[in-house]
Amino acid sequence: MMLDVCKDTLCIAYIGEDSNFITEFASQNPKCQLDNYKNSLEASNVIESNKKLSAIICEYKLPGQNGFAFFKNVQKDLKELGIPFILVHDEKDSVLLQEAISVGIDDFYGKPLAFDKLQERILFLRELKGNLKDNNINVSDEKSKPYKVKFLKRTFDIVVASVALLCAAPFLVVFIIYSFRI
């Protein structure tokens, strides 16, 4: 079960069944408390009740659903609490990476993992989410529209560039003739 107080340690919820991950992470990160949840239901109950989590590391393959489906279920709570969600897959897959980015997952890793870099990334994501929340910066879910230049502005730019080229042309011709004489 999750401890209530996590002052000097990172409290991380790991959702998955990879025992190698758990033992390696615990041995390489003594300042981290890694709590293992084998299914998404148990983990979602902990997320809703515990506001002390530093991050969630979730396997892509979960019993009954995948990591994307679990993320969609807890996305609202994670956003309110500022908890980073990191998805881990057995291999590096660019298609899953693109899907993870489009869904809004904070980070995606393929195994094998560099646990020291993972801990640094968790600290960075926590700080980033905290700063975004403190400064009331909302990350927009809608796609940004490309800027469309107005016709009058485009016409003005073309006319000014043409006049500048016509004014500079005699000087360019003189420079070219002078450079061939030398």
Share of the chain above pLDDT 90, in %: 14
Check whether domain 10-134 has CATH 1.10.10.10, yes or no: no
User: What is the end-to-end Cα distance of the chain in Å, rounded?
Assistant: 85
The C-alpha torsion from 131 through 42 and 98 to 26, rounded to 10°, is 70
Tell me if 35 sits within 8 A of 65, measured CB to CB. no
d(CA 128, CA 144): 21
**Report for 8-22, 60-74, 162-176: range of highest mean pLDDT:** 162-176
pLDDT given at position 37: 84
The string of DSSP letters for 12-45 reads EEEES--HHHHHHHHHH-TTEEEEEESSHHHHHH
pLDDT given at position 153: 95
Tell me if 5 sits within 8 A of 27, measured CB to CB. no
pLDDT given at position 5: 40
pLDDT given at position 140: 58
**Report for 47-51, 78-82, 157-161: range of highest mean pLDDT:** 157-161
Please determine, for residue 79, whether its predicted confidence score (pLDDT) is greater than 60. yes
Question: Of the given ranges (45-54, 67-76, 170-179), which has the lowest mean pLDDT?
Answer: 45-54
Tell me if 110 sits within 8 A of 90, measured CB to CB. yes
pLDDT given at position 2: 38
Q: What is the pTM of this model?
A: 0.68
